[in-house]
Chain A
Amino acid sequence: MKLRDYILKRLLLTIPTILGVMSITFVLSHIIPADPIVMWLGGPEAVRLARPEVIARIRDSLHLDDPLWIQYIFYIKAVLQGDLGMSPMTHNPVIVDLIRLLPATIELALISMMIALIIGIVAGVMSATHKDGLADHASRIFSLLGVALPNFWLALILQLVFYYYLGWFPDPGGRMTDLTAWTHPVQRITGFLLIDSVLTLNKVAFFDVAIHTIMPAIVLGYRSVAMITRLTRSSMLEVLKQDYIRTARAGGLKEKVIIYKHALRNALVPTVTTAGMTFSYLLSGSLAVEMVFYWPGIGWYSGQSITMLDYPAIQGVTLVVGIIFVFMNLIVDLLYGVLDPRVRYE
């Protein structure tokens, strides 16, 4: 199969998957026990007082009297137009809230991913080159803990130690201190505060945001560090066994050149592609981490929605995270197809 055909086929295959995600959120929004009219008007009292025409109009606008499959079509149509319903909590369309908050989550996830890749690859190479040595055991324990620790607990413990006891990091209350937000407000261009503060040459805000990002990013990335370390280690060990490495050694190349130039490059193929998969851990991990750090992203938003029982918001978050996840998988698959031609023929 040609690369172009493979990409085309893979792209077409995402359509049913995304339809599937929409079907799940549709089903979920229909098994909610709460009466949508009550939700919409803000309480049973309001329903009793409301004029019948008003209730009829709401029933009509929500298509409550239509059969289920018509409601489904209306739902798909609305979602495709970017209409995820109104949030009773913020009185905003859910999509507006999500667009406002998504950059914070994505910024955090990307920084975590960067930290995870750097630490993970270095630790993976170290433990592969020092197999069964001290570095190998240390990194094994480190990554075993990374998979076993609940991230919200790690976040609280780090807050306790580094904020309350040592005072090295600022108060875990959002992305910047209130004072900086007053004196050096960041003009919103992309929504990514770090990028925006660089673009507007806002040095004070940049450093404030950066230092607020470190702790949540480390907590969020820890699990991915563990996965990337183990993966890099095993693929590195595999590569180091190959004939061309032995040839390079026999040719008298320096060990450093062999490891970083010849071995690592080949060992990184599965690591980099699988890093895309860990993105799902970052997205779902951000749920609890953002709540603990009061990080104003979609994880924090869904925490608020759960407390307020804001159903449209919860379904909106599910849908958006699902779609991001589907596209991350698509990118991973495409990368695999480019890097490893065998995949295309499966």
Chain B
Amino acid sequence: MKMDKKKESTNGSWYRNWTNEHQAQIKDLKYTIHLFRQSKLAMGGFLLVLGVVLMSVFAPFLITHDPYSLNLPERGLPPSREHLFGTDSNGMDIYSRCVWGGRIDLSVGFIIVFISTAVGVVVGVTTGYMGGIIDEVFMRITDMFFAIPSLILAMAVSAALGSRSLQTIMFSMLIVSWPGYARLIRGNTLAVREEPYIEAAKSLGASSLYIIFKHVLLNAVAPVLVMATMDLGSIMLLTASLSFIGMGAQPGTPEWGRMIADGRNFMRSSPWMITFPGIFIMISVLGFNLLGDGLRDVLDPRLRR
């Protein structure tokens, strides 16, 4: 009999049950999407980001030439129907290389933001929840990282690691970017910890782990999402800058910053070599910045109305 009753309540469509349980949240989400769609700049950013992501995902179908193959007889050709953006000093098709570069720059950005968030969650929640001496030590350590501008620190770390490759600058950008996430999540944890409902949950016998997952982390989702989106833009800029000054991707790699560095010596005879990769960088960074701005306006309850 008991079994039957339980079965009844979970019977029918799980989807309907789930929506019934989460009615409030779904309503909230719908309202958020509605607000987001009303902002022209946010939608513009969303479309730009969507475009860049789709371009990178479907790059194998979009390219017209192999982005890595040399074709010396066709070097330095201006844009034409055969080569949409012209060819570079090695005869490689710039259009295909720009499209392919999206895969490199975007995945670098996503990987770094993902790992930084993971590290930031673990460190930030631990220090924020425990407080005391651990928290104090953590604050001083992150202060050290904030004391040096990120491009300079990333350059110094990459230089110290010795080898020049994308992996090296990814590691150094990770070192530069995790403290920001950890600080954000720590601050959030501290604020939530003092809330009366945490007190209530504790008095009802909720475990620390439950509180961390159910309240602390759930509250951190919105600000972390905003920060990660904005960060994707700045990390793409950082990747391009580091590659441009010669640290990251090596000559010949279709990475946007590297392509500009490669085209620098030929910019007078083939200005298209530097022009197009720069436009791709600009569009992606602009897209992520606009999207981040829009998300912040929509997700921050204080800015909502």
Contact = CB atoms under 8 A, between A and B. Distances in A.
Contacts of B160: 28-29, 31-32, 311, 314-315
A202 interface: no
A322 B147 contact: yes
Interface in B145-199: 145, 147-153, 155-157, 159-163
Interface string A149-190: 111111011011000100000000000000000000000000
A287 B140 contact: no
Nearest to B162: A33
Contacts of A142: none
A17 B143 CA distance: 7
A288 B152 contact: no
A285 B147 CA distance: 16
Interface string A303-326: 101110101001101100110011
Contacts of B87: none
Contact of B151 (A28, A149, A153, A284): A284
A253 B279 CA distance: 47
B260 A284 contact: no
A179 B290 CA distance: 47
B147 A32 contact: no
Given A156-B274, A160-B267, A28 B157 contact: yes
A150 B148 contact: no
A80 interface: no
A208 B205 CA distance: 76
Interface stretch (B6-14, B66-74, B106-114, B280-288): B280-288
Contacts of A34: 162
A24 B161 contact: no
A54 B41 CA distance: 66
Contact of A144 (B245, B246, B275, B289): B289
B286 to A, nearest CB: 4
A315 B156 contact: yes
Range for the number of chain B residues in contact with chain A: 35 or more
Interface in B212-243: 233, 237, 240-241
A283 B155 CA distance: 13
B152 to A, nearest CB: 5
A318 B152 CA distance: 6
A24 B179 CA distance: 14
Contacts of B78: none
B144 interface: yes
A111 B259 CA distance: 30
A2 B256 CA distance: 52
Interface in A25-55: 25, 28-29, 31-34
Contacts, number: 145
B271 A153 contact: no
B278 interface: yes
Contacts of B150: 284
Contact count band on A:
35 or more
A251 interface: no
Nearest to A329: B147
A193 B42 CA distance: 45
Given A24-B153, A321-B149, A150 B274 contact: no
Interface string A43-83: 00000000000000000000000000000000000000000
**Listed residue (A150, A283, A285) with the most chain B CB atoms within 10 angstroms of its CB:** A150
Interface in B264-305: 264, 267-268, 271, 274-275, 277-278, 281-282, 285-286, 289-290
A164 B148 CA distance: 36
A280 B241 contact: no
A147 B237 CA distance: 10
B257 interface: yes
Count chain B CB atoms within 10 A of each CB in A33, A153, A157 and give the residue with the most. A153
Nearest to B274: A156
Interface in A89-110: none
B249 interface: no
A125 interface: no
A197 interface: no
A154 B278 CA distance: 8
Contacts of B247: 306
B244 interface: yes
A150 B237 contact: yes
A150 B256 CA distance: 11
A331 to B, nearest CB: 14
A322 B160 CA distance: 16
B147 A20 contact: yes
Contacts of A325: 147-149
Contacts of B246: 303, 306-307
A322 B267 contact: no
Contact of A148 (B153, B274, B286): B286
Interface string A243-285: 0000000000000000000000000000000000000110111
Contact of B241 (A28, A152, A283, A329): A152
A144 B148 contact: no
Q: Which of B140, B152, B244 has the most CB of A within 10 A?
A: B152
A13 B89 CA distance: 53
A157 B286 CA distance: 18
Given A24-B145, A28-B160, A148-B281, 20 more contacts: A17-B143, A17-B147, A23-B144, A29-B160, A31-B161, A32-B160, A147-B285, A148-B233, A150-B260, A150-B281, A152-B241, A153-B260, A160-B271, A280-B149, A281-B149, A288-B241, A309-B162, A314-B156, A318-B152, A322-B148
9 pairs of A and B residues whose beta carbons are closest in the complex: A20-B144, A153-B278, A284-B149, A148-B286, A284-B151, A318-B156, A148-B285, A322-B148, A28-B160
